[in-house]
Structure formats: C-alpha cells, structure tokens
Amino acid sequence: MKRSKLGPWLAIVIGAIYFLVPLIGTFEFSLRMRRGEYSFDAYRIVLGDPQFQATFAYSTCLALATILVGALLVVPTAYWIRLRLPGLRPVVEFITLLPLVIPAIVLVFGYLRIYNSSSWLPLTASDRATDLLLTFSYVTLALPYMYRAVDTGLRAIDVRTLTEAAESLGAGWPTILFRVIFPNVRVAVLSGAFLTFAIVIGEFTMASLLDRPAFGPYLQLIGANRAYEPSALAIIAFIVTWACMGLIQVFGRGARMAAETR
Amino acid sequence: MAFLEIKDLRKAFGPLSVVQNFELAVEGGEFVSFLGPSGCGKTTTLRMVAGFEQPSAGTIRINGRDVTGLRPNQRNVGMVFQSYALFPNMTVAENVGFGLKVARRPAAEIGARVEEMLRLIKLPTLAGRYPYQLSGGQQQRVALARALAIKPQVLLLDEPLSALDAKIRVALREEIRSVQRKLGITTIYVTHDQEEALSMSDRIVVMNEGRVEQIGTPFEIYNYPRTRFVASFVGTLNILRARVTDAGQRRIAIDGQEIVARRGLDGTASGELRAVALRPEAVSLSDPGGERNRLQGTIEDVSFLGSVVRIRVRFKENAISLDTFNNPGLAPPEPGREVTVTFAYDDVLVLEGEAS
Ligand SMILES: Nc1ncnc2c1ncn2[C@@H]1O[C@H](COP(=O)(O)OP(=O)(O)OP(=O)(O)O)[C@@H](O)[C@H]1O
Ligand SMILES: [Mg+2]
C-alpha cells in the first residue's frame, strides 16, 4: 500500500521540479537588480517603459480583434458543419489543425508573397492594412484552439432541435445564430478566447516579420539587450498566461455546475 | 375544403422510400394522431408539414394556402419536440415570448401573452426559472406554451410525452387535450402509444411502412380495423385463418367449424382464405343463447392479470385469447378442459387481403 503511493508522488515531485525550478530561478534572478538585496526594480523599469506599455496595448488590441474575428468565423462554421454537413467534420477538423503543423514562418512567408505591395491585394502596403493581415494570421494560428473549444460547446447542446424550434417560431438565420447558438456556447467561446489571448500576446514570428510593434518582438528586443528585465518580463508574461488559464477554469467550472444541476 | 390538406405526399431518402402516397384532410380544430410502429414515417411526415423536410412529391395546404415550398419560419406552425428543446439560455418567460419577440411585437403585448400562456399551462409562478430548474413535465408544458404563444395555425407534436414517466404522461395527456379544445387549434399528434392515440384523438391515422393503413375515429379504428396490420397493432386482437365456405350466406370456417361473419365478406369468393379478427373482450366462455357463433376447443393456458383473467383456447391450427373478469369466489378454469366459446355475428371482422 505504502509503496504503491510512492510512485505517483515521485512523478509529481519530478514534474514539479521540472516546471518550478526554472520558474523560481527566473523569479529570483529578476529580483536581483539591486546589488546585495532583493528588489522589484526590474519590474518597475519594465512596467514604466513606454515601449512596454505601447507594445502591450497594441498586442492586446490585436488579441481582442483576433478573438472577435475568430469567434465570428468559427461559431457559424462549426454550427453549420454540425447542422448540415456532418460528413465534412473530419475534413474541417484536419484543416483547423494545419496551423499547428505548418510553422508560423512558412505561413508568414506565404502571406508576404501573396499580399506584398505589388500584388493584387497589397495588404503590406500600409500599417493599418498590415495590422489587418496580422490579425488574420493570428486568427489562423488560434484556429485549432478556437474550433475545438466551440465544437465541444456545441456538442453539449442539441443544435438541430434548438434550431428547428427557433425556426418554427419564425426566427431567421441571424436570430438563430445570435440569440440561440452564440449565448449557449458563450463559455466555450470564452475559453477559446483566453487561449487566443495567450497565444497572441506571446507571438513573435509573424509580428516580427511583418514588422509591427507587438509585444513578442519587444520581449525579444529586451531579452537580447538587458540582463534583469527579461526575467521580469518572462514572469509577467507567465502571470498573464496563467491568468487566462485560470479564467478558463473559472468559467468552465461555472458551466459544468450549471450542467450538473440540469 | 379542409383546413389542412395533404395530397399525395411522398418522401424518399436516396433510394429509400419513407413516405408514400400520404393523403389526409384535417378539419379546423380537429385533433388527429399519427399512430404506427417505429420507423413507419410518422416523424418524417410531421416534419414535412412543419417544413423541416422537403417532400419528394405532393402538396401541403394550410387554410387554402399552398405551403409546400415555404421555409419553416414562414409557415406559422407550432412544434413541440420529444426532447422539449427549450432554449437553455433563456428563462421560461423568455422562451415563451421568443416567437413574439422575433416577430417584433411590442413588449407590453409580449408580457401579457406570456402571462396568459403560463396561466393556461398552470405554471404562472415559474416565469423567472431557467429550463434546467424545471422537471421534465414542466419543461414540456413550457414548450407547449412557447409553441402556442405565436397563435400558430397548426400545432404539431412529435411524441411529446415519451420522455416522461407513466403518471405524468397520463396527466399531461389530458392537459394537452383540454388546452387544445379550449383554443380550438388544429393539431397533429405523433405517437406510437395506442392508448395515447385512442384516448386523445378525434381521428387516428394508422401508418405502416410509410403508408396510411386506415384513417378513422378511435371507435372505428379499435372496433373495425380494416387491415390485418391495424387489427394487430391496435389492441390485442386474435387473428385467425378462415376459409370462406359460402360468401352469399356469409359463412366461413375456422379449423373446420362453421361460423357466420356479418362484416367484410363483400367481394370474396367461396373457397378463399382470409384473415379474421376477434377482440378478446368480445369472446365469452358462457353462452347467453340465441343467434351466436359457437366454437369448440381446449383450454391451453390461463394467465391471471389481476382484475382480468386471460384464457387461451386452441381449436386446431388456430387459437384465441379471451378475457374474463376475476371472480374471487370462482377458481379459474383448468388447462386441458374442453370448452365452447361464443361470440356475436357482428364481432367477427374479416380483414382485407389474403390470409398469409
Ligand atoms: N435524414 C434521413 N436520412 C435517411 N433516412 C431517414 C432520415 N430520416 C428518417 N429516415 C428513415 O426514414 C424512416 C422513417 O423515419 P421516421 O423518423 O419518420 O419514423 P417514425 O415513424 O417517426 O419512427 P419513431 O416512432 O421511431 O420515431 C426510417 O426508416 C428512418 O431510418
Ligand atoms: Mg419519430
């Protein structure tokens, strides 16, 4: 009895060491800016840096736009596939997985070839247009997570019967989508949204190659030129990501509890 | 002209023909049930009336208007589903008011109508609850209110009670019927429960393998089934093989014993083999005398069902079941005894088609 419990604990301890030691090390290092004592100086400098604020705000805006576009693209698609084209589900699932398989750098070179300033759709010609292109590429990157989250959410409701009930009550497609389907997959869309946010905030390749002032390239710039600030930034990025994960848990639990009382 | 007219309706899924030559005329305010075994096309027919399924051929008219090509949201038809299908994100009041809100009615009108509907289904205090806070029976009543709130021309119900337990089923059955009478709404009710169909309907459409077997009042369907299928599906009929001995004198023979059959012998010739139906409750072990059919046989089996004792009597090839009331002062008869069973001339139903 005692011995059988030792194994799992050992695994947990090894796992914890594997994840926590670098984290604690980074955190400890980030506090060492002042010689001889621990301080939050590095954090103060980072948070006070106007470039940090600008890039973080930029990436946040882009993340929100990505979430909006992603949700408006994925929810109707996943809904339609479930309702009318269930045979296409494996195909669509495969397509949504492609961004995980194809490296971001390949994608972005593709974009640059298709949308360069001498092409028929010169999306890289102006900053605003490039922002648009960057948003769309983020939508692509977040597609696997968003699609899976929404599809799981749709599985929990009887899409077909709810649609038919709404139809027989006189509702058209926009009403069905926005009054019936969206509200019932809200939790799923939110968890997809937090994952999207975490991805966009840390993304480097696309923002860098499209030459936009995003948070990812800023992280890289600081990392290459400073000593203590990168560690502070890494910890901040961790906190943001973990906050997103935590929010998924909170909302997910709320949904589960509602489902259990059903 | 009838209020709801279905003409030569057909539906095929690929090579599979699911509904064939379906003809039905429903009067305004009538309650019609579709009754039949699983897979016979009841739901498919109902869904074509609702507009969820496009017919392969045929027309559907509601109140004189051809709706065959209209989308479901243009038909003004109320639908109640087996799985309730309430919108989980909306309260009871929002669910009931959904159709009116979609139609952009003023808020005051919606509020009044929702209240009226909730009073009609006797749940006036549950307006603020969410569907998951309701029992199955309550959810189905809300679904009924939601379908009725838009004042549909036709109400369609697809096995609305089959997910509920027996007691609520009977109570809700009566409630649906009384609401339907009160509003005078034309209704089609799909069920595979014959008791439900018999107790609720003005008329019953018995379906089998995509075809209409018989349309009639519950009384007609139960007492005078026209086909072997209807006879065996509705109630617990005895089906016997008989040979027509004298078509003119209306005489037939069952395992060599001759009897008189008053109904259904027109157009038959002597010597033909036909299926004959007899209700268990029409057959008696006692002989009141007079003009009656009499058959001699042996008791094969006796089963005690509580208030009723079901006795099986065998002739040769054929056997019948008959019901007698339980009498505490009298032990049920023993298997093996020779008996004579009697039944009226009118109770013999000669069915359509050759005996198999
Ligand atoms: N979308 C579809 N594609 C192919 N076949 C279908 C489809 N819908 C129904 N069918 C077939 O049509 C036949 C009739 O189905 P339907 O649902 O109308 O039966 P039902 O009488 O309502 O049965 P139940 O009492 O089990 O609900 C069945 O054999 C079914 O397999
Ligand atoms: Mg059905």
Picking from A158, A168, A179, the nearest residue to B79 by CB comes out as A168
Token digits of residue B156: 């369609």
Q: Nearest residue CA, atom 12 of ligand 1?
A: B18
* Distance in angstroms (rounded) separating the CA atoms of residues B80 and B47: 11
Q: Are strands B154-158 and B186-191 parallel, antiparallel or unpaired?
A: parallel
Under a CB-based contact definition with an 8 Å cutoff, are residues B144 and B175 in contact?
no
pLDDT (tens digit, 9 = 90+) per residue, B295-341? 999 999 888 888 888 889 998 888 888 888 888 877 778 888 889 99
Ligand nearest to the Cα of B39, by number = 1
Task: Name A196's Cβ contacts closer than 8 Å, sequence gap at least 6.
Answer: A63, A66, A67, A70, A138, A142, A145, A146
Token digits of residue A73: 């693209």
Three-class DSSP category at B257? strand
pLDDT (tens digit, 9 = 90+) per residue, B170-200? 889 999 999 999 999 999 999 988 889 999 9
Q: Show residues of chain B in contact with A189, CB under 8 Å.
A: none
Task: Name A262's Cβ contacts closer than 8 Å, sequence gap at least 6.
Answer: B132
**Is the CB of B40 inside a 6 Å radius of any atom of ligand 1?**
yes
For range B219-236, the mean pLDDT: 85
* Distance in angstroms (rounded) separating the CA atoms of residues B176 and A71: 41
Say if the Cβ atoms of B150 and A258 lie within 8 Å.
no
**Predicted local confidence at residue A122, as pLDDT:** 79
For Cα atoms B86, B91, B92, give the angle at the middle one, nearest 5 degrees: 65
DSSP code of residue B321: E
Three-class DSSP category at B103? coil
Say if the Cβ atoms of B102 and A157 lie within 8 Å.
no
Q: Show residues of chain A in contact with B88, CB under 8 Å.
A: 157, 184
Q: Which of B241, B232, B215 has its CA nearest to residue B350? A: B241
Element containing residue B5 per DSSP (H, E)? strand B4-13
Q: Cα separations (Å) of B238 from B170, B323, B350?
A: 27, 12, 12
Q: Is the ipTM of this complex over 0.85?
A: no
Q: What share of chain B is helix, strand, coil (3-state, %, to 5)?
A: 25, 35, 40
* Distance in angstroms (rounded) separating the CA atoms of residues B69 and B57: 11
Token digits of residue B183: 């509003």
Sheet holding B238-246, edge to edge: B257-260, B251-254, B238-246, B273-278, B349-354
Q: Is the pLDDT of residue A229 over 70?
A: yes
**Predicted local confidence at residue A207, as pLDDT:** 87
Q: Is the pLDDT of residue B26 over 90?
A: yes
In one-letter notation, the amino acid at residue B286 is S
Token digits of residue A46: 């980072």
pLDDT (tens digit, 9 = 90+) per residue, A80-106? 999 989 899 999 999 999 998 998 889
Picking from A168, A183, A259, the nearest residue to B78 by CB comes out as A168
Which residue of chain B comes nearest to A183, CA vs CA?
Answer: B89
For range A43-72, the mean pLDDT: 90
pLDDT tier at A111, thresholds 50, 70, 90: confident
Q: Which of B160, B150, B137 has its CA nearest to residue B104? A: B150
* Distance in angstroms (rounded) separating the CA atoms of residues A17 and B206: 71
Picking from A161, A172, A183, the nearest residue to B89 by CB comes out as A183
* Distance in angstroms (rounded) separating the CA atoms of residues A44 and A229: 9
In one-letter notation, the amino acid at residue A29 is F
* Distance in angstroms (rounded) separating the CA atoms of residues B99 and A166: 8
* Distance in angstroms (rounded) separating the CA atoms of residues A139 and A76: 15
Quickly list H helices, B103-135: 107-120
For range A50-72, the mean pLDDT: 91
Under a CB-based contact definition with an 8 Å cutoff, are residues A11 and A201 in contact?
no
pLDDT (tens digit, 9 = 90+) per residue, B33-68? 999 999 999 999 999 999 999 999 999 999 989 999
pLDDT (tens digit, 9 = 90+) per residue, A174-217? 999 999 999 999 888 888 898 898 889 888 888 888 888 888 88
Q: Is the pLDDT of residue B287 over 70?
A: yes
The CATH superfamily of A50-261 is MetI-like (1.10.3720.10)
* Distance in angstroms (rounded) separating the CA atoms of residues B14 and B9: 16
**Predicted local confidence at residue B116, as pLDDT:** 92
For range B120-141, the mean pLDDT: 90
pTM score of the predicted model: 0.81
**Predicted local confidence at residue A257, as pLDDT:** 54
Task: Name A9's Cβ contacts closer than 8 Å, sequence gap at least 6.
Answer: none
Parse chain A into domains and list their residue ranges: 50-261
Sheet holding B293-304, edge to edge: B319-325, B308-314, B293-304, B338-343
Element containing residue B98 per DSSP (H, E)? helix B92-102
Q: Which of B16, B5, B162 has its CA nearest to residue B81? A: B162
Averaged confidence pLDDT in chain A? 86
Residue to substitute from B73, B82, B135, interface A, most A β-carbons within 10 A? B73
**Predicted local confidence at residue A3, as pLDDT:** 62
* Distance in angstroms (rounded) separating the CA atoms of residues B39 and B37: 6
Q: Is the pLDDT of residue B71 over 60?
A: yes
Q: What percent of chain B has pLDDT over 90?
A: 50
Between A162 and A257, whose confidence is greater?
A162
* Distance in angstroms (rounded) separating the CA atoms of residues B345 and B93: 58
**Predicted local confidence at residue A121, as pLDDT:** 79
**Predicted local confidence at residue A252, as pLDDT:** 65
Orientation of helix B107-120 relative to helix B92-102, angle to 10°: 130
Q: Is the pLDDT of residue A262 over 60?
A: no
* Distance in angstroms (rounded) separating the CA atoms of residues A159 and A166: 11
Q: Nearest residue CA, atom 31 of ligand 1?
A: B39
pLDDT (tens digit, 9 = 90+) per residue, B250-272? 888 888 888 888 877 777 778 88
**Predicted local confidence at residue B261, as pLDDT:** 85
Q: Show residues of chain A in contact with B72, CB under 8 Å.
A: 164, 167-168
* Distance in angstroms (rounded) separating the CA atoms of residues A109 and A48: 35
Annotate chain A with three-state secondary structure. CHHHHHHHHHHHHHHHHHHHHHHHHHHHHHCCCCCCCCCCHHHHHHHHCHHHHHHHHHHHHHHHHHHHHHHHHHHHHHHHHHHCCHHHHHHHHHHHHHHHHCCHHHHHHHHHHHHCCCCCCCCCCCHHHHHHHHHHHHHHHHHHHHHHHHHHHHHCCCHHHHHHHHHHCCCCHHHHHHHHHHHHCHHHHHHHHHHHHHHHHHCCHHHHHCCCCCHHHHHHHHHHHCCCHHHHHHHHHHHHHHHHHHHHHHHHHHHHHHHHCC
Residue with tokens 């009382």: A261
Element containing residue B180 per DSSP (H, E)? helix B166-183
pLDDT tier at A261, thresholds 50, 70, 90: very low
pLDDT (tens digit, 9 = 90+) per residue, B148-167? 999 999 999 999 998 888 88
Say if the Cβ atoms of B72 and A168 lie within 8 Å.
yes
Q: Show residues of chain A in contact with B89, CB under 8 Å.
A: 180, 183-184, 186
**Predicted local confidence at residue A253, as pLDDT:** 64
